[in-house]
Amino acid sequence: MPETGQSSHIVHWVDNKRYSGTSGRTAPVTNPATGRVTGEVALAAGEEARAVIESAAAAFPAWRDMSLAKRTAVMFRFRELLNERKDELAALITSEHGKVLSDALGEVTRGQEVVEFACGIPHLLKGGFTENASTGVDAFSTRQPLGTVGIIAPFNFPAMVPMWFFPVAIAAGNTVVLKPSEKDPSAALWIAELWAEAGLPDGVFNVLQGDKEAVDELLTHKAVKAVSFVGSTPIARHVYATGTANGKRVQALGGAKNHALVLPDADLDLAADAMVNAGFGSAGERCMAISAVVAVGGIADELVGKIAERARTLRTGDGTRGCDMGPLVTAAHRDRVASYVDQAEADGATVVVDGRTVRPDGGEDGFWLGPTLLDGVGTGMSCYTDEIFGPVLSVLRVDTYEEGLDLINSNPYGNGTAVFTNDGGAARRFRNEVEVGMVGINVPIPVPMAYYSFGGWKDSLFGDTHAHGTEGVHFFTRGKAVTTRWLDPSHGGLNLGFPQNA
């Protein structure tokens, strides 16, 4: 979005209208490439959150009962409008998140794939039917929506992450309250307006702006039947514990530390390209970013050289100027990430490429940190143990495949991983043995397509179901099994035994 110099007031969305709220609490929203405050977002108090949730709950019965044909027609219209206008949404993302425009467009496209998947909801909701399960008795199964569901999103994908959930939730007949990140809240409001234009009835898709207070209400309000959360692991753990203690179905996707295992036979140029793309794309603020490169055998020096050579060619700057990598989301986050580089250096790691000295193509008050490559990283260093969530790639050296696998499996996170090799047998063994939810083979960011499900293992996901795909449909619906018999006088009579087939 071009900056007008005026600060916008970013509000809630309820019943297909903007709602300013009454709490008076707000938080500043900045353009990370200039450091300027571009808006202030409303932060809901409990009372406002309750009002939004209750509107969504009131809209549920009519939406649930609307025919699949009509619901699907709205989904298709939404998909068409999104496809026509996705450049607008991408520009909005870049202006508040900082990622470069091409990356923002990629995010919208991946979200759109879930909308397309959800357009097939009539097929996805089909149950089974058994004729004559018992004499004169038919049985069938059906999946029904839950009611009102909450979606709580992180800052790093303000459009795609909500779109992992709400297309499926809405298509299945639920009503939604989306709580975006307070750091980049405008994309959600833009999406809400698009839904209204697509003909979604009032109250089906709502946006609740806010922080912990809004989240707490979603986790405790009786009308909210399920919560999909994405964010850091400590908050995911809290959301899962509180939501389930309040009787809700919860899927809480947490943080990550994604490793790439580079075997001695790998094509090192391909691997180095992949490390740079996956380590520094979106300034490392992706839950599927590679942050740890595990170099096996004697290849480490050559691999580090190739990664460094490529990393030095990247242009860091304003996402609207055709640069490779944008700023970090806030000044505080930039400072935190830089402090990990300081600490790694103090701990004895070698700073091969130093992003702290970057000369960006952007505003002097932007939140800059260039691509950073650390070599000789040990598993006890904080740059390895913590999720940094910035453009910092750490290289760890091991002697064997087994040592590398053990290192990856010992990490508490299990979101994504990749192996680089030309040996099909080694790749097959790795995908079987690694304890991580999403695995790439010579593919550094193995984000599943919309018709598969997205989710990590261990501390990267709390709950049983992953996002979108069949698991997403199951999360937002519940099964019902129905047994029917139509009047047949021959089956009359009393029988207190447990029903058995006859």
Q: Could you list the residues that contact ligand NAD (CB under 6 A)?
A: 152-157, 161, 179, 181-182, 211-212, 215, 230-232, 235, 253-256, 287, 387, 389, 415, 456, 460
Residue with tokens 């709490």: 23
12-14, strands of its sheet edge to edge: 17-19, 12-14, 205-207, 175-179, 148-152, 224-230, 249-253, 461-462
Nearer to ligand NAD, 63 or 240 (CB): 240
Q: Least distance to ligand NAD from the beta carbon of 413, Å?
A: 9
Q: Least distance to ligand NAD from the beta carbon of 414, Å?
A: 10
Q: Is 323 a catalytic residue?
A: no
DSSP 454: B
Q: Least distance to ligand NAD from the beta carbon of 213, Å?
A: 9
137-145, strands of its sheet edge to edge: 129-134, 137-145, 477-485
Q: Least distance to ligand NAD from the beta carbon of 353, Å?
A: 23
Nearer to ligand NAD, 238 or 310 (CB): 238
Q: Least distance to ligand NAD from the beta carbon of 399, Å?
A: 30
Residue 343: φ, ψ to 5°:
-70, -40
Nearer to ligand NAD, 71 or 179 (CB): 179
Q: What is the C-alpha to C-alpha distance for residues 395 and 383, in angstroms, rounded to an integer?
A: 11
3-state secondary structure 188-208: HHHHHHHHHHHCCCCCCEEEC
Q: What is the C-alpha to C-alpha distance for residues 247 and 203, in angstroms, rounded to an integer?
A: 23
Q: Least distance to ligand NAD from the beta carbon of 47, Å?
A: 18
**Residue 40 near residue 9 (C-beta atoms within 8 A):** yes
Beta strands of 46-147 (E only): which ranges?
Answer: 129-134, 137-145
Whether the CA torsion 320, 323, 327, 328 is positive or negative: it is positive
Q: How far is CA 272 from CA 78, 267, 294, 308, in A?
A: 39, 9, 12, 9
Nearer to ligand NAD, 157 or 420 (CB): 157
When CB distances to ligand NAD are compared, the closest residue is 231
**Residue 365 near residue 98 (C-beta atoms within 8 A):** no
Q: What is the C-alpha to C-alpha distance for residues 451 and 437, in angstroms, rounded to an integer?
A: 16
Nearest to 26 by CA among 165, 210, 299: 210
Residue with tokens 């700023």: 327
Q: Tell me which of 119, 287, 323, 383 is the catalytic residue.
A: 287
Residue 256: φ, ψ to 5°:
-155, 160
Nearer to ligand NAD, 63 or 280 (CB): 280
Q: What is the C-alpha to C-alpha distance for residues 425 and 265, in angstroms, rounded to an integer?
A: 12
Give kind and range of the element (H or E) at residue 58: helix 46-65
Nearer to ligand NAD, 150 or 201 (CB): 150
Q: Least distance to ligand NAD from the beta carbon of 156, Å?
A: 5
Q: What tokens does 78 get?
A: 């939404």
Catalytic residues: 287
